Amino acid sequence: MIVRDMLYIDGGWVKPDGSGTIEVLHSATEEALGSVPSGSAADAERAVEAAARAFDGWAGTSVDERSKYLTRIQEGLQERMADIANVIAAEVGMPIHLANLIQAGLPMVDIGSMPQVLDGFPFEERVGNSLVVREPVGVVAAITPWNYPLHQVAAKVGPALAAGCTVVLKPASEAPMSAFILAEIIDEVGLPPGVFNLVSGPGRVVGEVLASHPQVDMISFTGSTEAGRRIGELASRTVKRVALELGGKSANILLEDADLSRAVPGGLNACLLNSGQTCSALTRMIVPRSRLDEVEALAVSAVTEFVVGDPFADGTRIGPLVSKAQQERVRSYIVKGVEEGATLIAGGPEQPEGLERGYYVKPTIFSRVTNGMTIAQEEIFGPVLSIIPVDSEEEAIAVANDSIYGLAGGVSSADPEHAKAVARRLRTGQVEINGGSFNPMAPFGGYKQSGNGRELGRFGLEEFLEVKAMQM
């Protein structure tokens, strides 16, 4: 049992206002993994006030000083990689070999990239008779999700600190443990009191205080579109800046000349990574109707390689989902897909054989899906792929854009220039060309109801800066 009974506020570990706790469950055993404090509105207030007091001092530090702190935090993350990977694999269900690479590795990249970004960043420039300066936005409230719990924290905290902002972090209740490890590292590094604060607790309590607090200058939120709308509503009352990274229902277009032997397994992996618990997952595979039989056969063959099992067992490629509620939600979508007439070619709603305990769902593939079906329009957030046949390239593009979301996408073609031409027509924030790999320095964010603002690299830093013009 990992018991966390203190919050991190104003440079130290402090007792929470109340005695409530949040139980954190092991996704593979359904047993208690540990607990964290259920912070109150008063705890959130204390943290905001500490961040507000610390702002002027931190904003006045040099770029070099902030870079040195961030480098030391990155080094601390590297030292704690095993702890981070183990706890997130247990909370979220990602297989441990992937958790080491992604859940523990990406946060190091996020934080470690900031000194590089700061080096030579134009905080001041001349425009005619004006000196244009970029200054920290102020107190930032970061509200983060459970699917990539520390990566999403680092993608907000790193650039916010680099910009000279102070931070109050509220991690997801389902997977909060790695945020406490980060707080331990920050405490050891010795950031000035109040620059970083951690308050765990329910979104309807802690999150709502942070979103509406007049001393919070910016909200950076990653989560569901529904929750993002609520954040925006509360933040609008004080006209604070809001950066939102929300849902997705991303389309992966396989053009007529695509190498299906690579594109289909690669597309399946881009859907099923982290048991499908990825906002940018390529969950709609749009294919030429003339090649549908070939796509189906390749998909059914490829899915057998995705071994479902304990995230700590050798050979596991898909672990459990994060919670019972998420498991039931995903299964309900699978049932809905069958009811609406999609063709189930792999998987299904039943518990995988031999895995009686744990929040497991079989990797599931539907074919002959139409884009109006529920499984093609709503974000499932589980290991479910919809194969949608179309009769032309124009129809493929229209289907891909026929979504309230616009977070990510993919295009595969034997001609990269042709693929890029199609990618330019997709209303999404990112597009993979022929399976191009994730770039942690490229801007990440979406169009439409997938949110606004961008994270990572230079683009992430710019989100936390205000622009001032001084006429000379």
Catalytic residue from among 91, 174, 245, 379: 245
Q: Are 434 and 419 in contact (CB under 8 A)?
A: yes
- Angle of helix 105-118 relative to helix 81-92, nearest 10 degrees? 120
- The fold adopted by the segment(s) 251-439 is Aldehyde Dehydrogenase; Chain A, domain 2 (3.40.309)
Q: Is 271 labeled as catalytic in the residue annotation?
A: no
- The percent of the chain in helix, strand and coil, each rounded to the nearest 5, is 40, 20, 40
Say yes or no: do domains 2-246+450-471 and 251-439 share a fold. Answer: no
Residues 6 or more apart whose CB falls under 8 angstroms from that of 175 comprise 24, 88, 91, 92, 146, 147, 149, 322
- The fold adopted by the segment(s) 2-246+450-471 is Aldehyde Dehydrogenase; Chain A, domain 1 (3.40.605)
Q: Is 245 labeled as catalytic in the residue annotation?
A: yes
365, HSE (Cβ side, Cα atoms, 13 Å): 24
Percent of the chain with pLDDT over 70: 100
Name the stretches of the chain with pLDDT < 50. Answer: none
Q: Which of 25, 4, 2 is nearest to 15 (CA)?
A: 4
Q: Which of 248, 279, 105 is nearest to 178 (CA)?
A: 105
In this prediction, residue 207 carries a pLDDT of 97
143, HSE (Cβ side, Cα atoms, 13 Å): 33
CB count in 10 Å sphere of residue 162: 25
Which residues are registered as beta bridge partners of 388?
Answer: 286
3-class DSSP assignment, residue 287: strand
Place of tokens 């205080």: 209
3-class DSSP assignment, residue 302: helix
Sorted by where each begins, the domain ranges of the chain are 2-246+450-471, 251-439
In this prediction, residue 79 carries a pLDDT of 98
How far out from the chain centre does Cα 224 lie?
Answer: 10
Strand 166-170 relative to strand 432-433: parallel, antiparallel, unpaired? unpaired
In this prediction, residue 83 carries a pLDDT of 98
Q: Are 197 and 167 in contact (CB under 8 A)?
A: yes
Catalytic residue from among 49, 279, 455, 463: 279
